[in-house]
């Protein structure tokens, strides 16, 4: 079975004290994850070290970066490289979140470089894709997402692409409380899997975990995660509350 993943994306939220408390609360819940389940906390860079300390001993819990820079090293003041993350024992990195694409002008080409930097440094990229409301209204979402995948991922070898997680996050469902329906989610996830399978073979397509993101909460997680091609979720707002996120972890398929 594919890896089932509950990933928290804290974005730019929480003080250090709140972060510490939240991580402790989730750890103290003593959730027994199954072999194929993974819990990931994408925290601000500043908190990666403490996150690793607090969750390091919990089985199947990992800290993740929310971003990395596309260059290897050098005079890029304020940026963080994939090699630095690797040197701090970080094993996952979000790449191409829609907020990065929109506010920081990250193009599909820049994201393909970030994917390369991650893979060179043994970081598993969680590659985010998804369409705006305008694209959905024009019924162009499938070709739009396919282009995002093609432009940023299709230079990878078959072996490389299996070391990657995809997160489908329709922009119109992020932070809006408006979750995509299970029919919309399953349809897009199956499409993403078929795009990968057509390029790399079904064996590869079948191996890649595809997460759904966009207003996932404790009350809708189980229904969303139960869709055939949904392998968990990337959670924003609801991951900032321990009890909500604990319930979301518990909603993962076994």
What are the structure tokens assigned to 233, written together? 């979720």
Give whichever of 213 and 232 is closer to ligand 13P, judged by the CB atom: 213
Q: Least Å distance between CB 183 and ligand 13P?
A: 19
Q: Least Å distance between CB 235 and ligand 13P?
A: 5
Q: Which residues bind ligand 13P (CB under 6 A)?
A: 9, 97, 169, 174-175, 213-216, 234-238
The phi and psi torsions of 121 (rounded to 5 degrees) equal -115, 25
Q: Least Å distance between CB 167 and ligand 13P?
A: 7
**Could you write out the DSSP letters of every residue in the chain?**
-PPEEEEEE--S---HHHHHHHHHHHHHTT----TTEEEEEEE-GGGHHHHHHHHTTSTTEEEEES---SSSSSS-TT---HHHHHHTT--EEEE--HHHHHHS---HHHHHHHHHHHHHTT-EEEEEE---HHHHHTT-HHHHHHHHHHHHHTTS-HHHHTT-EEEE--GGGSSSS-PPPHHHHHHHHHHHHHHHHHHH-HHHHHH--EEEESS--TTTHHHHHTSTT--EEEESGGGGSHHHHHHHHHTS--
Tell me the residue number closest to ligand 13P, measured at CB.
236
Give whichever of 100 and 191 is closer to ligand 13P, judged by the CB atom: 100
- Catalytic residue of the set 97, 106, 131, 191: 97
Give whichever of 44 and 204 is closer to ligand 13P, judged by the CB atom: 44
Give whichever of 67 and 200 is closer to ligand 13P, judged by the CB atom: 67
Give whichever of 61 and 212 is closer to ligand 13P, judged by the CB atom: 212
Q: Least Å distance between CB 42 and ligand 13P?
A: 8
Q: Least Å distance between CB 102 and ligand 13P?
A: 11
- Catalytic residue of the set 99, 169, 189, 191: 169
Known catalytic membership, residue 97? yes
Known catalytic membership, residue 99? no
CB-based contact 93:123 (threshold 8 Å): yes
Active site residues: 97, 169
């Amino acid at each position: 079975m594919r890896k089932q993943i509950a990933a928290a994306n804290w974005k730019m939220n929480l003080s250090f004290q709140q972060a510490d408390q939240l991580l402790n609360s989730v750890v103290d819940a003593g959730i027994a994850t199954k072999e194929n389940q993974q819990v990931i906390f994408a925290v601000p860079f500043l908190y990666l070290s403490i996150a690793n300390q607090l969750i390091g001993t919990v089985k199947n819990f990992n800290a993740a970066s929310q971003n990395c820079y596309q260059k290897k090293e050098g005079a890029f003041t304020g940026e963080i490289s994939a090699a630095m993350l690797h040197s701090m024992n970080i094993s996952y990195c979000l790449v191409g979140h829609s907020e990065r694409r929109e506010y920081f002008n990250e193009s599909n080409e820049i994201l393909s470089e970030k994917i390369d930097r991650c893979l060179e440094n043994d970081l598993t990229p969680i590659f985010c894709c998804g369409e705006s409301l305008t694209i959905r209204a024009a019924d162009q979402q499938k070709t739009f997402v396919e282009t995002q995948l093609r432009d940023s991922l299709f230079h990878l070898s078959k072996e490389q692409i299996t070391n990657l997680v995809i997160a489908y996050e329709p922009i119109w469902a992020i932070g809006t409380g408006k979750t995509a329906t299970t029919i919309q989610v399953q349809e897009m996830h199956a499409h993403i899997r078929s795009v990968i399978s057509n390029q790399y073979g079904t064996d590869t397509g079948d191996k890649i975990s595809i997460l759904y993101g966009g207003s996932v909460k404790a009350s809708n997680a189980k229904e969303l995660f139960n869709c055939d091609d949904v392998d968990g979720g990337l959670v924003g707002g609801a991951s900032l509350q321990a009890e909500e996120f604990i319930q979301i972890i518990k909603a993962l398929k076994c």
